[in-house]
Amino acid sequence: MAENRYGDDLDRAEGGFGADIASQRMDALDRAALHHALSLDGGHALDLGAGSSIQAVRFATLGLETLAVDALPRARTLVGRLDLERALPIRYLEKDARALTRGDLPARLDLVYSQRFIHHLRHGEAVALLRLVAEAMPPGARLFLSASGLASELAEGYPAGPIEARYATLSPAMQAKHHIEGPVCLYAAEELEALAEAAGFATERVELSPFGNVKGIFTRIGPPTR
């Protein structure tokens, strides 16, 4: 069994997109998003690249109408396996997030969360997706976003060029260890900030995890600025 420094089982992965970590461990960004969810008086949440959808289930149990989006077949998620749409205010949408439209989303989104997913998209696709999501978010709504980091071991042997063109597979050793097969766009902390700001968010906090991934909390401020 391959493990990272947190003891996560990296083999709990399918589809070549890396391990489903959220179902193994709640990290600081998960907890911050849940604190924020508790401070809201209901509302709508979105989990992008939800994987097993455990964090989406947590939002739904806190009373938020929650949409979980992932390319994984519904039957492989908690929502599908436990038929949770019958028990909780949650919906699972099996879809390539790059093909999402405004019509797929609730009219208003009060909280958007996305962990360990956005680096699977090209940078331009990530900007377009966050802009689409931002259209549904009123000023003040929060985005909790993380990406695999350029400062992590994933970047060993990874050809990091300019972010607009950065989209390459990991070294064979890292592909095998982390079960990440396709191309990824790894992020530096300031690049995740710039990504969110390009979609109309202000940065509240961005930090590196001990592994070297980038985790940020952002607030919707208005139309994209650049």
Ligand X SMILES: C[S@@+](CC[C@H](N)C(=O)[O-])C[C@H]1O[C@@H](n2cnc3c(N)ncnc32)[C@H](O)[C@@H]1O
Q: If binding is defined by CB under 6 A, does position 120 make contact with ligand X?
A: yes
**What's the closest the beta carbon of residue 117 comes to ligand X, in angstroms?**
4
Nearest to 49 by CA among 3, 93, 7: 93
Q: If binding is defined by CB under 6 A, does position 187 make contact with ligand X?
A: no
**Tokens (6 digits) for 39:** 């401070």
Task: List the beta strands (DSSP E) in the chain.
Answer: 44-48, 65-70, 90-94, 111-114, 142-147, 201-208, 214-220
| Contact predicate 64/36, CB 8 Å | no
Q: Taking CB under 6 A as the rule, which mask of x and - marks residues 56-95 in contact with ligand X?
A: --------------xxx-----------------------
Residue 19 is classified by DSSP as B
Among 68, 110, 115, 220, binds ligand X (CB under 6 A): 115
Residue number, 50 or 185, with CB nearest to ligand X:
50
Strand order in the sheet with 201-208: 90-94, 65-70, 44-48, 111-114, 142-147, 214-220, 201-208
Q: What number of chain residues touch ligand X (CB under 6 A)?
A: 19
Q: If binding is defined by CB under 6 A, does position 40 make contact with ligand X?
A: no
**Tokens (6 digits) for 196:** 């969110």
Q: If binding is defined by CB under 6 A, does position 20 make contact with ligand X?
A: yes
Q: If binding is defined by CB under 6 A, does position 185 make contact with ligand X?
A: no
Q: If binding is defined by CB under 6 A, does position 105 make contact with ligand X?
A: no
Q: If binding is defined by CB under 6 A, does position 193 make contact with ligand X?
A: no
* Chain positions contacting ligand X, by CB under 6 A: 15, 17-18, 20-22, 49-51, 70-72, 96-98, 115-117, 120
